Structure 1
């Protein structure tokens, strides 16, 4: 059985190197890159079948990626809290520091335009609520292509709800009857955001007219309802319970998502489909992506790390407390969903722009 020294001597001879030190350096570089390409599972199998001396050397060498701190760009919203909860586990798994950079103007096009030009080396990533990038690109003039970003992983999805002030509409039917009589006022965080697009799709499906008023954020939008400045808003579920408990708002219906069922956290709320309306689903997800043309072996390292983290009991418990739906999509599946959503937004964008 070959020892580590005998192995290095063979490398030195075959590569025509001058000494064992050069052979060791060359071997470390090749093994490091090999580990990056094949991933941890196959690497562990190779270690198990290697002689003890060679196994020790193999296990001591880290993969070629990552070798330095990784920066994750994000902005205000649920994705920020979500990725920060995962970062300690990600640092432990990857063995490098993970820095989360909260950037202003994240709901606009500038962060995505800058990200388009980042080096595809795996050291700058972006975490956001999908499909924000596609909406921003399709609904305005932008110098980036969301479909060119490299998908890594999606791990949670969110349900959107139709929310009204307390003491106004008791049922979805009440809301719809009033909407048929007059133009309603819809509170939204920003024009062109996910809530706005979901609302536009809903309004078109219901055949109603809406005057959309931006309030600069989700909490201000819900606050506007509590003051009865607006007739309704479209909101993710995570922020709603305190307002419901305080008697400020009512939740009338859940907008459709790809599952077709009710939210496990709001199982008493009917879906729009249950109420008789077939509205196209727009599923929101927290995603992590890399710049265009990031190599697949880097994606694989990050994808495997994230897929393990979401199975940890501590993250599952955090997700439950924060009403986060764990719904993982690997890189390839996320790519396919991006293609579907991209095509859908592209088809309806001209119609939506008229309502802008």
Structure 2
């Protein structure tokens, strides 16, 4: 082989290797490039639900997750991380990469924990980016039918005549149910035995089994059990009756407590620092799923009331509710124990 031919062949090989290497580097750079709103999501998305499976938060997130997976063409993984009134799951999201691929399902409990707990594994005001308030819903007081408590009047009468004789399964110590019942107790003098649970699923199952007498819980978690006669609903905490269980009175009606009203909600958060464009993309897509007729009908049948709205709406809601619940907790003398 002549020196000229050898040089040309070597040069061609070098050019080919350089081109291949450049293509590989380009592909690697594209793979490593951060997502934009146009490309998000390009891999599975994980939603942390900070309570045990089976409750309303779990049902809501799995319903939305299935539809979001179809919309995004990516798997949506629902991970239950229960414990410490939701603070363990929230702490996990607070430390996650701020890229939109790890989200937190939470409601007013996020704000309540900031009032009730002295030491948290995150800074509530700085660790999360609000995404969307998905639903609002009543809490409902339900009992095992075997207790013989047929009305809220029966319940309150026994709780006053025989203090702490009623065992109340709390779906999270210090949560909205705890606050709602403490306000009721302060107003009526009722005293029950609180038993904390890691979520609404285990709490309702134990009431059905007779291991606890009652629970105050998000209505959507127990509508099926009430309709099946496994639980008896005594009253809802909102100022309005729920269309899902229209025959169940409000606490204000049944206990003759005008002005009594506690409404809970559930929404989604991303870690602080998540690009605003990705937060807005997730917001738009969750809103789109919430407005699907079949999804809306399914959620409303369970007892949810679809909310939706912007991430700014959720941020304003937190700012408005924080002083209100702080005052309610102070008045009720509620403490974590």
TM-score bracket, normalised by the shorter chain, equals: 0.7 to 0.9
Which residue number in structure 2 is paired with residue 301 of structure 1? 281
Which residue number in structure 1 is paired with residue 120 of structure 2? 142
Q: How does 1:1-16 map to 2 (within 5 A)?
A: none
Residue 151 (1) aligns with residue 130 (2): yes
Which residue number in structure 1 is paired with residue 186 of structure 2? 204
Tell me, in whole angstroms, the C-alpha distance in 2 between the residues paired with 1:64 and 1:215. Answer: 40
CA contact (8 A) 2:141 2:236 kept: yes
Shift of the 242–209 alpha-carbon distance from structure 1 to 2, 3 Å rule, reads same
Shift of the 299–170 alpha-carbon distance from structure 1 to 2, 3 Å rule, reads same
Which residue number in structure 2 is paired with residue 187 of structure 1? 169
Matched position secondary structure for 1:287: strand
Tell me, in whole angstroms, the C-alpha distance in 1 between the residues paired with 2:207 and 2:69. Answer: 41
Which residue number in structure 2 is paired with residue 264 of structure 1? 243
Deviation of residue 274 (structure 1)? 2.6
Tell me, in whole angstroms, the C-alpha distance in 2 between the residues paired with 1:95 and 1:243. Answer: 34
CA contact (8 A) 2:82 2:88 kept: no
Which residue number in structure 1 is paired with residue 294 of structure 2? 314
Q: How does 1:1-356 map to 2 (within 5 A)?
A: 36=37, 63=38, 65-75=40-50, 76=53, 77-105=55-83, 107-128=85-106, 130-140=107-117, 141-148=119-126, 149-166=128-145, 168-184=148-164, 185=166, 186-215=168-197, 217-226=199-208, 230-244=212-226, 247-256=229-238, 260-275=239-254, 276-278=256-258, 281-350=261-330, 351-354=332-335, 356=337
Per-residue deviation, residues 79-103 of structure 1 (Å, max 9, x unmatched) = 2332232234324434544333333
Matched position secondary structure for 1:154: strand
Shift of the 324–177 alpha-carbon distance from structure 1 to 2, 3 Å rule, reads same
Shift of the 68–327 alpha-carbon distance from structure 1 to 2, 3 Å rule, reads same
5+ residue gaps, structure 1, are 1-24, 37-62
CA contact (8 A) 1:163 1:249 kept: yes
Matched position secondary structure for 2:318: helix
Please give the TM-score of this superposition, normalised by the length of structure 2.
Answer: 0.74
Tell me, in whole angstroms, the C-alpha distance in 2 between the residues paired with 1:271 and 1:308. Answer: 32
> What count of residue pairs does the alignment treat as equivalent?
296
Please give the TM-score of this superposition, normalised by the length of structure 1.
Answer: 0.71
Q: RMSD between aligned alpha carbons? A: 3.2
Per-residue deviation, residues 37-86 of structure 1 (Å, max 9, x unmatched) = xxxxxxxxxxxxxxxxxxxxxxxxxx254444433222433323322322
Q: 276-285 vs 265-274, which deviates more?
A: 276-285
Tell me, in whole angstroms, the C-alpha distance in 1 between the residues paired with 2:76 and 2:227. Answer: 37
CA contact (8 A) 1:147 1:339 kept: no
Which residue number in structure 2 is paired with residue 14 of structure 1? none
Tell me, in whole angstroms, the C-alpha distance in 1 between the residues paired with 2:242 and 2:138. Answer: 7
Matched position secondary structure for 2:240: coil
5+ residue gaps, structure 2, are 1-25
CA contact (8 A) 2:173 2:336 kept: no
CA contact (8 A) 1:147 1:342 kept: no
Deviation of residue 248 (structure 1)? 4.6
